[in-house]
Structure 1
Amino acid sequence: MSTPAVSVCVPAYQAERYLADAVRSVLSQTFTGFELVVLDNASTDRTPEILAGFTDPRLRVVRNEKVLPLADNWNRAVAETTAPLVKLLCADDLLHPHCLEHQSTVLATDPGLALVCSRRDLINEEARPISRNRGLRGLLGRQRNAEVIRKIVRHGGNPLGEPGGALFRREHFDEVGGFDARWRFPMDLALWIRLLEFGDFFGMRDSLAAFRVGRGSVSSQAQRAEYAEQRSLSESLAASPDWPVRRRDRLVGVAKAPGARLRRQALFLLAKVQAEREGNPPIR
């Protein structure tokens, strides 16, 4: 088998409820030159059984002998890939059918780009839309990396979005050392910032991924800890001599941060209410 153009890696832990849908969303891509690597983080539920039910030759399953911490597990998932372009998809999220086709075309044809992100839909635990075409306000099209950094600081949250909406170059990922375990909730944003050291950004207008707003996800646990980490990351970015972040940018970000936090909390509250109304038990 020839080397794929794109690798999608899915770190999976106790992922029996949503994993099959995530895998199917990748295998249903209009772009065919990809591999799918699923890393089972020593799950004790039906995750291995579900993966064994797929026979597509583009799928490769790897299993950890013991449970790894989040950053270590995500880094191993990427390390198992073989393509020059990589996407990490959380096991409860989805890709839209044209995602790899559109994103790989942009990144492969412009060597000056380091990161491509798309807008995304927000879905509830039953995969029903909560909100469509979210994210990347003011970040559509080709953007200079320095301007993107300024807009991240001014946003007060994560304007680039979750891993499922991003595509990056494996060589750059290796160069920066992958996901940084010092961060938990903004771990993805911290990586996007490091990758932008190597080139510019492209924001895609179409919604090409779906982020599941569920009660059991890492994001649903993010309250005060997320807020503190986000502020710390923004402050370190604003203070960095590597980027032209102005004092005004920092002050705008400080003012907007509480609103960004409240909007995110409202989404998870809405997902919780919908799930309870439909009689779905919490995921443990």
Structure 2
Amino acid sequence: MQAAVRSVLAQTDSDWRLTVVDDGVAPGVPEWFATITDERVRYQRNEQNLGVTGNYKKCIGLVEFDHVVMMGTDDIMLPNYLECVRSVLAEYPDVAMIQPGVEVIDGNGEVVRTLVDEAKRRLYAPRTQTRRVMAGEELAKSLLRGNWLYFPSICWRVDALRDVGFRSDLEVIQDLALVIDLLQRGDSMAIDPVVCFQYRRHTISISATGAVAGTRFTEARNYFLDVADRMDSHGWPKAARIARRYMSSRIHAVTLLPAAIRARHRAGVVNLSRHAFGPSRRSF
């Protein structure tokens, strides 16, 4: 958390406001923020735990400017992040989302290449060496084939984010759902290959532990089948077909099966196998 805050303080572009909303109870955190004298940093701790989605909603309500980054507590902004994003906005002022270049770090802050992230980069992300804008069914197809976004690194236009909002029924696939909702209403995303953000991937996290247990895939399967129907109704049949197959999600489940077997996680093995090899069927 301290490294994340210091990375914002180190931005080459000094025009920013950092608001930290603490949804935990870890000791010493309020005291550490009390030592920061920079008036651009403000901190508050929730009186009660709001959960991931509840805290997102609260954060959006506190935003005072036109654009926002929902940065994670352990991610790192490289010094050129704001400079890069503002350059994109100068060229494409109307986009609702900006996805800059990202590199992945582990729990120790070392740059790493994981199977998941290599798949994102090599198989799913658009191959571009220059800045570009994507929207409509083209971007929906790309993301439903394999979600290559890094949610904490995205810069959002606040009015678009508030209009669509976060879905209370989702957690691990919340970012994809939000972007698809924005695309359906006609918004666009700018992509810049310049690396200016470090996304931290831990072995132990909400998504990682839920993945080995297979529980996160129930949410994913239900979402893909629901959004497939929406894509059909919206007149995006190619995106609907991709969503209905949810092939990248099936492949992800297959890659986690060995870990579930080694851990003798019987329920995880069953859940992962059902998701990877079973029919496209909603779970309730």
Tell me the TM-score normalised to structure 2 length: 0.77
Equivalent residue number for residue 199 of structure 1: 187
Percent identity between the two aligned chains: 23
Equivalent residue number for residue 228 of structure 2: 238
> Relative to 1, partners in 2 of residues 1:66 and 1:248: Cα closer, same or farther, differing over 3 Å?
closer
**Contact 1:120–1:165 under 8 Å retained in 2:** yes
- Mind listing any 5+ residue stretches in structure 1 that lack a counterpart? 1-18, 268-284
CA-based RMSD: 2.5
Query: Which residues of 2 match residues 62-141 of structure 1 at below 5 A?
Result: 62-131=44-113, 135=120, 137-138=125-126, 140=128, 141=132
Matched, 1:187 2:174: yes
Measured in 2, the distance between the counterparts of 1:139 and 1:238 equals 25
> Relative to 1, partners in 2 of residues 1:212 and 1:260: Cα closer, same or farther, differing over 3 Å?
same
Query: Which residues of 2 match residues 16-95 of structure 1 at below 5 A?
Result: 19-95=1-77
Equivalent residue number for residue 138 of structure 2: 147
Task: Give the partner amino acid of 1:128.
Answer: E
The total of aligned residue pairs comes to 244
Deviation, structure 1 residue 108: 4.8
SS in 1 for 2:191: strand
**Contact 2:20–2:44 under 8 Å retained in 1:** yes
> Relative to 1, partners in 2 of residues 1:259 and 1:48: Cα closer, same or farther, differing over 3 Å?
same
Equivalent residue number for residue 228 of structure 1: 218
Give the number of the structure whose residues are more often strand, by fraction.
Answer: 1
Measured in 2, the distance between the counterparts of 1:266 and 1:54 equals 46
Q: What is the aligned counterpart of 1:249 among 238, 242, 266?
A: 242
Query: Which residues of 2 match residues 263-282 of structure 1 at below 5 A?
Result: none
> Relative to 1, partners in 2 of residues 1:154 and 1:80: Cα closer, same or farther, differing over 3 Å?
same
SS in 2 for 1:120: strand
Q: What is the aligned counterpart of 2:160 among 150, 166, 172?
A: 172
Residues 119-142 of structure 1: per-residue CA shift (max 9 Å, x gap): 321111110111298646216421
Measured in 1, the distance between the counterparts of 2:256 and 2:31 equals 34
Using the TM superposition, name which of 257-266 and 241-250 deviates more: 257-266
Measured in 2, the distance between the counterparts of 1:105 and 1:264 equals 39
Deviation, structure 1 residue 42: 4.6
**Contact 1:85–1:104 under 8 Å retained in 2:** no
Measured in 1, the distance between the counterparts of 2:87 and 2:222 equals 35
Equivalent residue number for residue 252 of structure 2: 260
Tell me the TM-score normalised to structure 1 length: 0.77
Deviation, structure 1 residue 265: 8.8
Using the TM superposition, name which of 104-113 and 79-88 deviates more: 104-113
> Relative to 1, partners in 2 of residues 1:52 and 1:266: Cα closer, same or farther, differing over 3 Å?
farther
SS in 1 for 2:17: strand
- Mind listing any 5+ residue stretches in structure 2 that lack a counterpart? 260-284
> Which of the pair has more CA radius of gyration?
2
Give the number of the structure whose residues are more often helix, by fraction.
Answer: 2
Deviation, structure 1 residue 215: 3.6
SS in 1 for 2:236: coil
Task: Give the partner amino acid of 1:213.
Answer: R
> Relative to 1, partners in 2 of residues 1:92 and 1:255: Cα closer, same or farther, differing over 3 Å?
same
Measured in 2, the distance between the counterparts of 1:238 and 1:107 equals 32
Using the TM superposition, name which of 27-36 and 255-264 deviates more: 255-264
Measured in 2, the distance between the counterparts of 1:265 and 1:87 equals 34
Measured in 1, the distance between the counterparts of 2:38 and 2:112 equals 31
SS in 2 for 1:237: helix
**Contact 2:60–2:162 under 8 Å retained in 1:** no
